[in-house]
Amino acid sequence: MRQLRKERLMTLETLAERAGVTKSYLSKVERGQSVPSIAVSASLAKALDVPLDNLFADAGELTDVTVTRAGERRSLTADDEAGTRYEGIALEVGTKSMTPFMLYPPHDAGPVPFRDHPGEEFIFVHHGRAELILPSRTITLDPGDCAYFKATQPHKVRSLGPERAAVLLLVSDDHAHADAANAPRLRLP
C-alpha cells in the first residue's frame, strides 16, 4: 500500500483523509501491524484509484515494469505505408501517464497533416536524422537529439537523409487520469 500511495505522490495524511481512516491506523496498516477489513480496504482502493485486488496481491505479483523487446514491438501501421509508421511499445499496460511509440516518419511530410492534441510530446532521435516541423519553424534533430513540446502546437515530423529515421515518441495526455474508469484508448498522435 505504501508503494501505491507514494506512486500517487500522496502523503499518509491525504490518503487517510480520503479513505476515512486515521493517519495512525493507516501507518499501522502500511507497516503490517494491522489488517484492514474489506470495507476499509475498499475505501483505500477507491482513494488510491486501484482495483481492490491490488491491495491483496503479493508485491511480487504486481507488475510495475513492462519490457517490450525490439522484435516484439507491434506495428500499428502498414510497413509499406507512405506516411508515418508507428510501432507500439508497452501496449499491454493498462492505465498509464504516457504512451510510448517508435516513430518512422516519411521523407515527404507535405501530404502529412499537422497534428495537435492535448498534452505534451517528447521525441528522441534514435537512428538517422529527423526534422520537427512547426508552423513557425523547423528544427533539425540528429541521432541522440531530442525535443519536448506542448502538443497543442501543430506539429509533424519528417525523416532527413537516405533512410527513415527511428524516433522514440512519448505522448502525455493532460487528461490521462481525468476519468480512470474509462478503458485506455490507443490514439496515434
pLDDT at 134 over 60: yes
pLDDT at 36: 76
Answering whether pTM is above 0.85, one says no
Residue 186 pLDDT grade (very low, low, confident, very high; cuts 50, 70, 90): very low
What pLDDT was estimated at residue 188? Answer: 52
More confident residue, 120 or 90: 120
Q: What φ, ψ does residue 104 adopt, rounded to 5°?
A: -125, 85
Q: Write down the pLDDT at residue 118.
A: 80
- Point out the least confidently predicted range of 8-22, 33-47, 55-69, 118-132: 55-69
